[in-house]
Amino acid sequence: MAQTNRRVMIQQTAAAVGAMAVAPQLMAQSAPVRIGYTQARTGPWTGGAQTSQEPNYLLWAEQQNAAGGLDVKGTRRKIELIGSDDRSDVETVVRTYEKLMGSDKVDLVLPPWGSNANFAVAPLANRFQYPFLAPTALSKRLVELKLPYFFLLLQQPKAMCDALVDMLKANGAKSVAVVYVDDLFGLENYAAFKVALQGTGINMVEDKSYPGGVKDLSPVLRSMKDKNPDAFVAFSYPPDTILASRQSKEIGFNPKFFYASVGTAFPLYKNVMTPAGAEGVMGMGSWNSKTSAGAKAYFDAHVAMHKKEPDRWASGACWAGLEILTNACKQVGLDRKAIRDYVANTTHKTIIGDIKFDGSENVGTPGTVGQWQNGEFEVVWPKQVATAALNPSKPSWK
């Protein structure tokens, strides 16, 4: 009898010790997945950030949590988003991510908005070994840094400018005028555009840079109008894109091909210019709700939650990045190196098509040109991914 009691006591003690060992593991499995980020909620980056990124982060977290949480290698765990306003300030971006990754030790991070902010934070991502899937970074220099934890989802300047020049050449353009914002985005796209023009027979009749926050482009636009180019190209941010369009309309500058970005693919553009006023205007873009069944489902869910449409360029890339991150967590859990390896070595099926990385660069998705037609931003070039045929002669401004 005593021996039996002793055996029972040993078994109970062993069970208690086992429970103590298992308890932290169970607690970890039930704890939320803490995901940190900054986004511009104030300042000049706000229009882009609150169109292309933060609304998608919120939609993704809501959808995952409604399904029971993020699938972490077979275990559903709720997502806790830790987001803050970076006030459109690079120093705030860097300080915040350093805290999130260094001292707060969040499970994962989501990227900030824009090329400049991502360029500043990319080395931190690499140092702390947090995978970054950046949907609004457009920079050859970021690719050249060869940071193994940093991935750029957008088609880069060479791919986008090659597609644009190919479209212009194929449709008979002989001359072009260019304006570009004097920062990383503008300078890199302008340089890529110049290279793409070489040997095409298309003459650049005028090119001008301008400072960020510009309030008046009319003198430059009047000079360009006098040269009567077949095409106008602006590598510009959303406020400048709208400014260039409005002032071109005011002075009657209406070349056959009018291309401006970033911002043309935003619903804001057709709302400000009116759908009739936006008709025929082109810009950077890679998708719309006709691109895939997944794109239509995403588009509808975005409108249902936010009561506004996503943009037809970086919002698609942002959602694709979240799809990739979701699948990575399902396959390999929250081990950040394993996530990095999964992202780097997999061809990803997304709402905008296949994404595959060569180093940091997405080489799976071709460069594209979009154009407003009948209230939709259609993919018009190259033809193999087009959702509508190009209109090769922009109608008069309305």
- Residue 180: pLDDT over 80: yes
Q: What is the pLDDT of residues 195-247, one digit of tens each?
A: 999 999 999 999 999 998 899 999 999 999 999 999 999 999 889 999 999 99
Q: Omega before 262 cis (within 30°)?
A: yes
Residues 115 and 62 in one domain: yes
Task: Measure the CA–CA gap between 117 and 48, rounded to whole angstroms.
Answer: 13
Asked whether residue 16 is domain-assigned, the answer is: no
Residues 190 and 231 in one domain: yes
Residues 186 and 266 in one domain: yes
pLDDT of residue 139: 87
DSSP class per residue in 134-178 = ESS---HHHHHT--TTEEE-SPPHHHHHHHHHHHHHHTT--EEEE
Residues 181 and 278 in one domain: yes
Q: Please give the residue range of the domain that contains residue 45.
A: 29-156+291-362
Asked whether residue 392 is domain-assigned, the answer is: no
User: What SS3 class is residue 365?
Assistant: coil
| CATH number of the domain that residue 199 is part of | 3.40.50.2300
Asked whether residue 90 is domain-assigned, the answer is: yes
Label residue 28 by pLDDT band (50, 70, 90).
Answer: low
Q: What is the pLDDT of residues 144-157, one digit of tens each?
A: 999 999 999 999 99
Mean pLDDT is lowest, of 28-42, 89-103, 326-340, for: 28-42
Asked whether residue 23 is domain-assigned, the answer is: no
Asked whether residue 233 is domain-assigned, the answer is: yes
Asked whether residue 391 is domain-assigned, the answer is: no
Mean pLDDT is lowest, of 125-129, 155-159, 220-224, 386-390, for: 155-159
Residues 143 and 121 in one domain: yes
Residues 147 and 43 in one domain: yes
- Residue 264: pLDDT over 70: yes
Residues 138 and 196 in one domain: no
Residues 38 and 178 in one domain: no
Residues 334 and 264 in one domain: no
Look at residues 82, 107, 130, 97 and name the one whose alpha carbon lies nearest to residue 28.
Answer: 107
Label residue 8 by pLDDT band (50, 70, 90).
Answer: very low
Average pLDDT, the chain: 93
Residues 82 and 215 in one domain: no
Task: Measure the CA–CA gap between 378 and 355, rounded to whole angstroms.
Answer: 20
Residues 275 and 207 in one domain: yes
φ, ψ of residue 385 in degrees (nearest 5): -120, 10
User: What SS3 class is residue 250?
Assistant: helix
For residues 102-126, average pLDDT: 96
Which amino acid belongs to residue 98? E
Residues 148 and 216 in one domain: no
pLDDT of residue 133: 98
Label residue 333 by pLDDT band (50, 70, 90).
Answer: very high
Report the number of distinct structural domains present in the chain: 2
For residues 362-387, average pLDDT: 96
